[in-house]
């Protein structure tokens, strides 16, 4: 696909013998070509490439960077700015409604989303409100059954709104309902009216527009039309695997200012991921090449952002543990950080409470990603049944979840001691 050639741009920069205006101009041209080929909207291509050029030629190189890294960093940052946002969906009771053109991938995506949230431990069910296509009922039923996902539909039902009403009554106990609707070709009036009615009855927390990446620049017109008709909360781009035009859907989302929630990249239910802009751009640029560089960027940022007092104030929750772990990823082991504090007050901290391998940091984060907001803010409520759910959702074991909770308690106690001692921390350039 066309966006793949962005990797060559990074390679070109790292391999060039000199970094000068000529290289910057070449790089900007290559990026323009790659984006245009990928069907990114021309105005956005111009914005991105102008910004890269201007910054690369005018900004001072940061002390920790060399000239090549400096340019790659700018390319990365401007692509990030151009690509728009992802959407964070909290793990709590919600309803999702999918809309989109015929054949865009709604039914497949309904099953994909259901599996995604089921894997995170939510009680999830799917509903078909497509009464137009005869096979729609069977298609979703089969997909759902293959993954043991409860399904609601009315085989010969004609009234999609009524079906949704019945589904809500029948599936009251579920955390997450995902409703598939009929494909709307060129936005016919009848189908639009039906879509609006379904939304009224369902009151979805999220209305997602499913966009086939292959439609390229047409994505923008479609997205606008759907957005005007019912108000879209997020975009799901499908078939990213089979096209060179995926930039069209990406730039449509950016243009109307709607976040991208998920990306589908294959026919299988597993071929689906949450849209993570940083990961996405890193991959486009060939993460292997720029990983170390990005870490360096983060280090520079985190050293400026540290505020030890804010960290020691307030209640200590799992959210703080999450931040801590992120900070550790950037700054090194927590022991080193504590070593910098005026500690020698007989405070005895076991070394192993501080030890944390990269692997464990990663695992703890995955576990916390599977927790609900409530659990993160109030870890006391995490009982054994929640532990089991979290372990399943995060693909870890109850033992590992307990280990995280133990780590949390150790840290919390430490913070308490810290506060009692009223340590003179002002002016210290460390913390979280
Ligand atoms: N390669 C690929 N194929 C996909 C993806 N998502 C869906 N498909 C395929 O696209 C075709 C249409 O998918 P559906 O899920 O039936 O689309 P739909 O929007 O429900 O279609 P209608 O109900 O007719 O409007 C199927 O053959 C799917 O297997 C994807 O991410 N990648
Ligand atoms: Mg369908």
Q: Which CATH superfamily is domain 306-421 in?
A: Signal recognition particle, SRP54 subunit, M-domain (1.10.260.30)
Residue owning the nearest CA to atom 1 of ligand 1? 266
272-274/260-264 β-pairing: antiparallel
Q: How far is the CA of 63 from the centre of ligand 2 (A)?
A: 54
Q: Is the CB of 138 under 6 A from ligand 1?
A: no
**Whose alpha carbon is nearest atom 6 of ligand 1?**
105
Q: What is d(CA 323, CA 331) in angstroms, rounded to the nearest whole number?
A: 12
Does the C-beta of 241 come closer than 6 Å to ligand 1?
yes
pTM over 0.75? The answer is: no
Query: pLDDT value at position 249?
Result: 92
150 lines ligand 1 (CB under 6 A): no
Q: Find the 95 Cα to ligand 1 centroid distance in Å.
A: 21
Listed by start position, the domains of the chain span 2-84+283-288, 94-275, 306-421
Tens-digit pLDDT profile for the chain (432 aa)?
Answer: 578 888 889 889 888 888 899 999 999 999 999 999 999 999 999 999 999 999 999 988 876 677 888 898 899 989 988 987 899 999 999 999 999 999 999 999 999 999 999 999 999 999 999 998 889 999 999 999 999 999 999 998 999 999 999 999 999 999 999 999 999 876 678 888 999 999 999 999 999 999 999 999 899 999 999 999 999 999 999 999 888 888 999 999 999 999 999 999 999 999 999 998 888 888 888 754 455 555 555 544 444 343 455 455 557 788 877 877 776 665 555 544 444 443 333 344 444 545 566 677 888 988 998 999 899 989 999 999 999 999 998 999 999 999 999 988 887 777 676 565 544 433 333 332
What number does the ligand 1 atom closest to the CA of 101 have?
Answer: 25
Contacts of 382 (CB under 8 A, 6+ apart): 371, 375, 390, 401, 405
Q: Which two tokens stand for residue 20?
A: 């000068």
3-class state of residue 259 by DSSP: coil
- CB of 239 within 6 A of ligand 1: the answer is yes
- Give distance in angstroms: CA of 342 to centre of ligand 2: 63
Query: In this structure, which residue's CA is closest to atom 23 in ligand 1?
Result: 183
Pocket lining: 247 vs ligand 1, CB cutoff 6 Å = no
Helices 160-170 and 189-202: angle between axes, nearest 10 degrees: 20
Would you tell me how many other CB atoms lie within 10 Å of the CB of residue 193? 12
Please give the pLDDT value at position 7.
Answer: 86
Q: What CATH class does 94-275 carry?
A: alpha beta
Say yes or no: CB of residue 107 within 6 Å of ligand 1. Answer: yes
- Best residue among 97, 101, 102, 103 to mutate for probing ligand 1's pocket (most ligand atoms within 8 Å of CB) is 103
Handedness of CA 360, 366, 367, 373 (dihedral sign): positive
Tokens representing 405 are 């909770």
Task: Map residue 125 onto helix, strand or coil.
Answer: strand
The pLDDT value recorded for residue 320 is 78
SS3 of 237, please? strand
**Domain covering 2-84+283-288 assigned CATH 1.20.120.140 in the classification:** yes
Per-residue pLDDT, 357: 66
Count, in order, helices (H) and strands (E) of the chain.
20, 8
* Pair type for strands 176-181 and 272-274: unpaired
Give the residues across from 273 on adjacent strands.
Answer: 263
Q: Looking at residue 137, what is its pLDDT? A: 96
State which of 100, 106, 107, 108 you would mutate to test the pocket of ligand 1, scoring each by most atoms of that ligand within 8 A of its C-beta. Answer: 108
Q: How far is the CA of 208 from the centre of ligand 1 (A)?
A: 15
Q: For residue 190, with 0-12 CB atoms within 10 Å meaning exposed, 13-18 middle and 19 or more buried, which class applies?
A: exposed
């Amino acid at each position: 696909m066309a966006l793949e050639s962005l990797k060559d741009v990074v390679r070109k920069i790292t391999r060039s013998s000199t970094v000068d205006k000529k290289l910057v101009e070449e790089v900007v041209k290559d990026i323009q070509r790659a984006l245009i080929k990928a069907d990114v909207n021309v105005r956005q291509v111009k914005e991105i490439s102008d910004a890269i050029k201007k910054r690369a030629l005018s900004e001072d190189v940061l002390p920790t960077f060399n000239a090549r890294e400096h340019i790659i960093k700018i390319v990365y940052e401007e692509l990030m700015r151009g690509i728009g946002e992802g959407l964070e969906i909290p793990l709590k009771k919600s309803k999702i409604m999918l809309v989109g053109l015929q054949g865009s991938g709604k039914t497949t995506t309904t099953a994909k989303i259901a599996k995604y949230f089921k894997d995170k431990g939510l009680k999830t069910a799917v509903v078909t409100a497509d009464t137009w296509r005869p096979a729609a009922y069977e298609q979703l039923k089969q997909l759902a059954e293959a993954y043991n996902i409860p399904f609601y539909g009315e085989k010969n039902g004609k009234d999609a709104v009524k079906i949704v009403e019945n589904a809500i009554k029948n599936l009251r106990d579920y955390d997450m309902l995902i409703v598939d609707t009929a494909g709307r070709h060129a936005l016919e009036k009848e189908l639009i009216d039906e879509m609006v009615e379904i939304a009224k009855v369902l009151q979805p927390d999220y209305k997602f527009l499913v966009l086939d990446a292959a439609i390229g620049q047409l994505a923008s017109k479609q997205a606008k039309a759907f957005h005007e008709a019912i108000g879209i909360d997020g975009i799901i781009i499908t078939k990213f695997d089979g096209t060179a035009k995926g930039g069209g859907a990406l730039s449509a989302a950016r243009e109307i200012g709607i976040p991208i929630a998920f990306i589908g990249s294959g026919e299988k239910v597993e071929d689906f991921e949450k849209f993570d802009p940083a990961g996405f751009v890193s991959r486009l640029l060939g993460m292997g090449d720029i990983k170390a560089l990005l870490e360096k960027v983060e280090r520079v940022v985190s050293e400026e952002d540290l505020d030890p007092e804010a960290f020691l104030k307030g209640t200590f929750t799992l959210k703080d543990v999450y931040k801590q772990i992120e900070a550790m990823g950037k700054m090194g082991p927590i022991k080193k950080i504590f070593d910098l504090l005026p500690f020698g007050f007989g405070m005895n901290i076991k070394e192993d409470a501080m030890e944390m391998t990269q692997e464990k940091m990663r695992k703890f984060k995955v576990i916390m990603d599977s927790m609900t907001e409530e659990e993160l803010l109030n870890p006391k409520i995490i009982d054994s049944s929640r532990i089991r759910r979290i372990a399943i959702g995060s693909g870890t074991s109850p033992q590992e979840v307990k280990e995280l909770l133990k780590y949390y308690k150790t840290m919390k106690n430490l913070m308490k001691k810290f506060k009692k001692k009223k340590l003179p921390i002002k002016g210290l350039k460390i913390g979280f």
